[in-house]
Structure 1
């Protein structure tokens, strides 16, 4: 099929914006992106954030591997002042894959090394790290846990997609057990222990992850779960509330409490006969879901997300990173793409429409909470025009801080480039070709998971890995890069 991104100038993007009837804005004045911004009791030196990008390159025990260290050295040197450390499991059972990092007493020295080396690289390249905030994302992978799914509720759309037994390929059925109320209560302690260790090794903020249909996100939408953790809004937010409260009480006041949260879940999509993405069959009203109407699931409904952000601010959360979708089920929502991974579907919408969805949702949140440090998502698809789109959004008060994910893997020094030359190196701009996701979906590695990065623009680390993966028969095994 003909691809979408053919723009050679901001003017051409603005014309497409008008044609599509969306609200993308651009500015050549990049100064707003280099202004400091308060974040709780701290201040970041500019408006750039490195999104939590998993490299799937940890060791079997959960300690970071050499590619993990390399990645954070590069992120540190790159110039962004908000580094959002990747998903780190709070228990062995909570890991999303066999190489996801895991912070505990036996691995904490390796995490301390990551913090020290990242900060050292930042100082060497940028002069000071006094205005750098480096945090860690604490996660429980829920229904995507490896090797056994841990589900908060039965979802009639996602259950048939969820592998209950990796050896047989059996799927989750109606009699598959839910995580119990008692297990959830004890899980709070696991978050607290991981948060305390994160502070001990030097992280500046703790993210209680509530996105991409992992456990906490699934609980937010669990209208059909019985008991104290499902049904009403108060019940569905109970576990996250208890966890945030416990973590806030357990760590020093100068530690920022953050969350990366879905503001819209969306309906899963599958590849149709013509390769286009097509929504899965679903019954209305929906029995669960977050940030979406029970009767109009293709429309973002921020009623509950806005209510929850207000509540979380009262609990001490001062940094929010807004995202969308489920990378296992509808990646075009979370990260609009030009090319899908080998087992994926073609985008069912113009990717700029997906970018606009992100920007409008972030703007609605920022308007509701003007003083909130809000990180926006969806920028990588703008490619070499990402800085101009980011500058306009910060200028217009649509978002506080701009997060970059895939684009960071392609050129982690993008902020230094803008400081030095005012533009990005077009030869290294992420073209959203999904190489990183394709590597992650190849599970035939001896450790059960290939490390992932950007083969086209980081051949030194990932060129040979990509060649090896190309020779494999890539299985349909869900994975995510954020």
Structure 2
């Protein structure tokens, strides 16, 4: 089990960058991160974004739970000016787990209280909240819906995962068409309760993400590029027409899917066997599916801009099939594998793919990913990427669970609190994967650095593992 992160300074990371042949850049001048940014009709007060991260702690009816409220109060307090609210189901049968939040008429008031508490916390700690953008990620979980898989295409590389069999029926064209109204209904409620932007989620192989790569699906929602982007296009157009002009339309989209990996005898991850050309996938070369091909992602982002999308967050991979793509890690999740590559190669992949999409879309607010693995040096990497125009906003995921006030730490002290820096040990993922709970899902957070909320939960999950 190789352990990679042994760096004590930016200079050591720069030397490793040269050894690996990557294009990681660092700057001690953090001023670019404090600059405001125009995002559609709005302005964000700085270049920091907190990524959407499910806490798996909603109520059974879909409303936010006590820990959900706590998380967004802490994020509001923390100082980042773009808070990307987590995946929120637009239908009950499209929920990823029994505790995923679901915005509907019966949960509206609870969401409104959460938004108000979030904004109040931000004002109390940071002053004005006029330049704070709090958004919500609208999603349908598709093949990962917890009651039964709702798939858009038959992908031979994903058969056997998450209860999907070779004969699992596809969602019909009519099933897909009906979802447009569900997205619009959720979007209207999100605006009514106070969210500033709406994300039409197209990442991580959930439903709309799966459709982007569904080259083998027949009919109007598969095959050609126009067909594969049709449902997302219809949803974006319908939402844009239904909400006020001040609401920002956003998307978190995969830049590259890749192929599934599995745990080899060595414990390392290795790609599943595949035949070429692969019949599904987005942002890849069908004849060499481990190689990104950004032709279609760049084209789609450019088309979405014409539809009114003004904020794009770039993700990679499938967290259930190749977690090292999306989250370069030091320790694997319990159901995962050791990283098959140096994690800095994964960080570099994130930066290059997001950078290429940003370069093809000057003036668009693009959020980058992959920073948490850099630990206390993530601010220097973010500052260099913003300085060089490689990205507009620096997105931070896991590290925000460990240290939700990291922006204020930088503002007040010029550095992160080293005692609360995420070390990418995957405890949060381990909690998310634990299902043997009376509500069907354990809440997820950061046990090492948020013991008050998750210490006892972690002990319980560890006991389950020993049993």
TM range (shorter): over 0.9
1:176, distance to aligned residue in structure 2 (A): 1.5
**Separation in 2 of the partners of 1:441 and 1:53?**
14
The runs of 5 or more residues in structure 2 that have no matched partner are none
Task: Compute the RMSD of aligned alpha carbons.
Answer: 0.8
Match of 1:81 in 2: 81
Aligned equivalent of 1:364, options 326, 350, 356: 356
**SS of the counterpart of 1:471?**
helix
**Separation in 1 of the partners of 2:74 and 2:43?**
22
Match of 2:302 in 1: 310
Match of 2:449 in 1: 457
C-alpha distance after superposition, 1:341-385 (max 9, x if no partner): 112100000000000000001111111111000000000000000
Match of 1:167 in 2: none
**Separation in 1 of the partners of 2:177 and 2:296?**
23
**Separation in 1 of the partners of 2:67 and 2:2?**
36
**Separation in 1 of the partners of 2:300 and 2:14?**
34
Correspondence 1:17-416 to 2 at 5 A:
17-163=17-163, 172-416=164-408
Match of 1:478 in 2: none
In structure 2, the CA distance between the partners of 1:474 and 1:345, relative to structure 1 (3 Å rule), is farther
The normalised TM-score by structure 1 is 0.96
Q: How many residues align?
A: 467
1:141, distance to aligned residue in structure 2 (A): 0.3
Match of 2:430 in 1: 438
**SS of the counterpart of 1:283?**
coil
**Residue pair 1:78, 1:415 contacting (<8 A) in 2 also:** yes
Match of 2:462 in 1: 470
The normalised TM-score by structure 2 is 0.99
**SS of the counterpart of 2:284?**
coil
1:201, distance to aligned residue in structure 2 (A): 0.2
**Residue pair 1:441, 1:474 contacting (<8 A) in 2 also:** no
**SS of the counterpart of 2:289?**
coil
**Separation in 2 of the partners of 1:54 and 1:40?**
26
1:234, distance to aligned residue in structure 2 (A): 0.5
**SS of the counterpart of 2:344?**
helix
List structure 1 segments (4+ residues) > 4 angstroms apart after TM superposition.
none
**SS of the counterpart of 1:203?**
coil
**Separation in 1 of the partners of 2:124 and 2:292?**
43
1:173, distance to aligned residue in structure 2 (A): 2.6
1:296, distance to aligned residue in structure 2 (A): 1.0
**Residue pair 1:384, 1:424 contacting (<8 A) in 2 also:** yes
The runs of 5 or more residues in structure 1 that have no matched partner are 164-171, 476-482
1:162, distance to aligned residue in structure 2 (A): 2.9
**SS of the counterpart of 1:106?**
helix
Match of 1:2 in 2: 2
**Separation in 1 of the partners of 2:240 and 2:2?**
50
**Separation in 2 of the partners of 1:404 and 1:128?**
22
